[in-house]
Structure 1
């Protein structure tokens, strides 16, 4: 069967899967999905990327079950730390679910609704003790190191409300804090608890309505317009290279960012996820957490749909899985996720009160490895894996892009153009076409010179004839050339 015919069969299968998905949603059944997104952001069915390996809840080991846990962290020893919010505690367990300890107080004060936890490589624990409006810093033996309360700064003002919900800490002990619904960005504090700056703030998204209102509205309407604020961040993750990834649940664009040391975003500035139809309502994605594995694969958690979106470093969607429901593999309301050194994902659900452990399939491993090789510039090795991906899913557009890049590197521009076309990569196609045109010009240089020379001679001859004709046309009738 040709690749084109196989692709049409694959497209039909994708439509069938989508229709079945809508039907199951209408009946209220669990909807476990596995797909990717094409260049138009439409769903394309894909083999399963992840399967549920285990479900961790701590039942039988904890004095009471988890209650509305909000945050999950994986430490350097690959133990899980859970901010068990409504139970007013932090739990540490192994990645197989064995509970190691619980933290219920710090400095003689019980924890109150903690929503965030972070553990440094040296074992120090940071807790966003939200209800008590403080950050608790514990030594590796869990003795209190420092308790940070609201920082004092003229830039914050006298009415500043300190309500930390999430926290990450860099190698210099600088803290980046999600402060409630604060629209300024991440609250940056140093190790002494001093306010440094607001970091990585979002912008108010462009709106044609706002532009027209500024032009035609009354003064009172303009004042209301200026009160529109940018969306606050929802969570953050610091990868092995020190880059900070951030999510914004209520942003309409650039909901996932990769922030550098000065807060600039180096991740593609575009819309991530999908707009879903629930009943008669359009719902936007709400990305509440993000994590990055050792291969720089980004996994972002959409709490609104219960789906995990995996992206490469260009923001392309590699895989999507999950869904909403009560069964294994889907979620009621996921709140956080982490990834271990094996590439296994752990997703915390604050309504199911458990952690589902997802193991990548052969298909996911192939996609991840091919993507990693591609971004390392090892195009021939990546192309071989992308071919295997196409054997498993002929509609996988990014595989064509990876193969095209290898052809381009090998100066096989015609083949590269074909693969870029299948990948719907206009930029790559244009690059390959430009090189093919230059290559043709180099190979046919002598012919071009001959043709250009011949063209010049022909044009010169035509010009001479025209001049002679015009000059002859200006002579008077009966005039003989050479008469005195």
Structure 2
């Protein structure tokens, strides 16, 4: 009876799940979701771009064993570095003709490349050689460790990846070689190191190097550039590399001098394993996280898909993907070393549409790309690259208002600036005569007023308003800001000795400053506004504004208290806030001005903000000098000590915060352990 009830429950549960659609699959049945990026580098779900169609572990009677690399030639034949079997596997396009080379020669083939003449270059890490095989498998040449003095006798030579340009020059990644990619000519002569990564020093390293002598800190840290992980080359002879352990610039496109020409703010990862170039210059990568990433030639992330599957049950997911390649039809081939598998993907109609638009876009055919981009937006309105492409099409057609809106959605500031310049120029041309008439009328009115009425209505109005406001104490305290800017030394004396301002007026100014910051976040001109408005937190903005102020006030008061400073804490607080008057008075003006400027006038916006910050800094300097009654050199010394104290307080906070978190976690673990045992 119990077995029948259990069976009935299983059937009912299966029926419910089948109708509820509880699954991790995407709409077309694949076990992963596909993403693209918006202009803020946020991942946005999109239609599936590639679908897995097959997994190969065996070709003919040959079973793959820990393969490391793959290459597809112009005839779309597959070349697989079958590392565990110590051979190169060659499969023709129809998978009918399968052969091997290097069976009795190779020890550990980890990288390969095939040139236009079908010669096969194989990097063998264990043999410390790069082999050049003929199409039929004969060894034509071996590239051993360079003997030139410039290479160095102690420089390691363990080739793991190789690529070759149209001149026959080899680019070799060697394990443990930090000087860059090893470049050899076709005869094996050393040409130099190419495209070296730069050393990156973190704060921990800086602190250790500043405290300990060289012979001590070298035992703890080594500051060497990271060796590139993988390498490829495109049809134009440009070398691409990926490097594990770096962010933003993990993908590099090197020019002939080895200088990176790829943007350094890519939506990437620090775990790239492989890179390949597609038919339209698109960049494919695969990483330890199991994800395949496709970028266009400019570095925009088109698609991200895949994921981890450590057990090896699911098609399209990986355990340890180490190589990727694509054929002329945009089919993808991914090698999973741990599972000894070759995964094959085909692109969807949506990806085909995106590739069509990208190809036209990259060729500068913006008008022609408009239609496919519009079809892309019909499928996914959040595909920002499509908005950018349509904006460029509108701009080319001189439809600047439409282009402006598309560029704003796409977050493309240069295009937005160019479109706004055209619209602004058109408006000025149409209204220039009216503007000149208005200015001429105002000038004529001022001249007539000067010689007849001898009364300036604007000045008279301001004077009247100021007289009325001075009747109230809080108004007088708030208007005191103008005196701080005109005569700061006397103003600080008034704050210190005469009580010219109160805590209430100071708090009101703090509130005004906070409101202005929020105003600046939302209303700064688009071309100068890099805030992510969808992620703005009013609490976070308040903390980022007032935390540095509180830290400065506390640090300055404490330092001055032990250095014969005369300022009380409340006085330092009030004087510091009143020193921010340039920002409080003119920040909104600069924000409004930013809405009528383009990138061509960016220097105006930047100069205005620089003047405000510089003026505020000068007022803070005078404030410390006058409030605490210091000399010039004493003030400089106090400012430096205050800055150091702020750093110490910050470091102490982070250390204490980390310690408290560890204590809390320790207590939680004890409680959990006790609960389990009880």
TM over 0.5: yes
Q: CA deviation at 1:333?
A: 1.1
Q: Structure 2 residue aligned with 1:160, among 144, 150, 155? A: 155
Structure with higher helix content: 2
Q: Structure 2 residue aligned with 1:315, among 292, 296, 299? A: 299
Q: Distance in 2 between matches of 1:133 and 1:218?
A: 37
Once the two structures are superposed, residues 303-334 of structure 1 have per-residue CA deviations (whole angstroms, 9 ceiling, x without a partner) of: x1111111112211111111112311111111
State how 1:139-158 maps to structure 2 within 5 Å. 139-158=134-153
Asked whether 1:373 is paired with 2:368, we answer no
Partner of 2:655: none
Q: CA deviation at 1:45?
A: 0.8
Q: Compared with structure 1, are the counterparts of its residues 464 and 378 closer, same or farther at alpha carbon in structure 2 (3 Å cutoff)?
A: farther
Once the two structures are superposed, residues 31-58 of structure 1 have per-residue CA deviations (whole angstroms, 9 ceiling, x without a partner) of: 5221112233222110110112333333
Alignment root-mean-square deviation, CA: 2.5
Asked whether 1:115 is paired with 2:110, we answer yes
Q: Distance in 1 between matches of 2:403 and 2:449?
A: 43
Q: Please state whether the residue corresponding to 1:132 is helix, strand or coil.
A: coil
Q: Distance in 2 between matches of 1:227 and 1:337?
A: 32
TM score, norm. by length of structure 1: 0.82
Q: CA deviation at 1:224?
A: 5.8
Q: CA deviation at 1:402?
A: 1.2
Asked whether 1:298 is paired with 2:283, we answer yes
Once the two structures are superposed, residues 149-196 of structure 1 have per-residue CA deviations (whole angstroms, 9 ceiling, x without a partner) of: 111121232233221111001111110001013222211111121111
Partner of 1:459: 446
Q: Please state whether the residue corresponding to 1:364 is helix, strand or coil.
A: helix
Asked whether 1:126 is paired with 2:121, we answer yes
Q: CA deviation at 1:77?
A: 1.6
Q: Distance in 2 between matches of 1:363 and 1:398?
A: 14
Asked whether 1:39 is paired with 2:39, we answer yes
Give the unaligned 5+ runs of structure 2: 1-20, 457-678
Asked whether 1:287 is paired with 2:275, we answer no
Question: Larger Rg: 1 or 2?
Answer: 2
Partner of 1:93: 91
Partner of 1:49: 49
183-192 or 264-273, which deviates more = 264-273
Q: Compared with structure 1, are the counterparts of its residues 444 and 209 closer, same or farther at alpha carbon in structure 2 (3 Å cutoff)?
A: farther
Asked whether 1:361 is paired with 2:359, we answer no
Q: Distance in 2 between matches of 1:31 and 1:184?
A: 42
Q: Compared with structure 1, are the counterparts of its residues 140 and 60 closer, same or farther at alpha carbon in structure 2 (3 Å cutoff)?
A: closer
249-258 or 82-91, which deviates more = 249-258
Q: CA deviation at 1:442?
A: 1.6
**Alignment check: 8 A CA contact 2:200 2:223 kept:** no
Asked whether 1:341 is paired with 2:336, we answer no
457-466 or 335-344, which deviates more = 457-466
Once the two structures are superposed, residues 270-291 of structure 1 have per-residue CA deviations (whole angstroms, 9 ceiling, x without a partner) of: 24325xxxxxxxxxx4111111
**Alignment check: 8 A CA contact 1:134 1:149 kept:** yes
Structure with higher strand content: 1
Q: Structure 2 residue aligned with 1:235, among 230, 233, 240? A: 230
Partner of 2:248: 253
Q: CA deviation at 1:217?
A: 5.4
**Alignment check: 8 A CA contact 1:256 1:272 kept:** no
Q: Distance in 1 between matches of 2:440 and 2:216?
A: 70
Q: Compared with structure 1, are the counterparts of its residues 143 and 437 closer, same or farther at alpha carbon in structure 2 (3 Å cutoff)?
A: same
Q: CA deviation at 1:209?
A: 4.2
Q: Please state whether the residue corresponding to 1:110 is helix, strand or coil.
A: coil
31-40 or 291-300, which deviates more = 31-40
Q: Distance in 2 between matches of 1:362 and 1:78?
A: 22
Q: Compared with structure 1, are the counterparts of its residues 147 and 219 closer, same or farther at alpha carbon in structure 2 (3 Å cutoff)?
A: closer
Q: CA deviation at 1:69?
A: 0.5
Give the unaligned 5+ runs of structure 1: 1-19, 275-284, 470-484
Q: Compared with structure 1, are the counterparts of its residues 271 and 211 closer, same or farther at alpha carbon in structure 2 (3 Å cutoff)?
A: farther
Partner of 1:138: 133
Partner of 1:350: 337
TM score, norm. by length of structure 2: 0.60
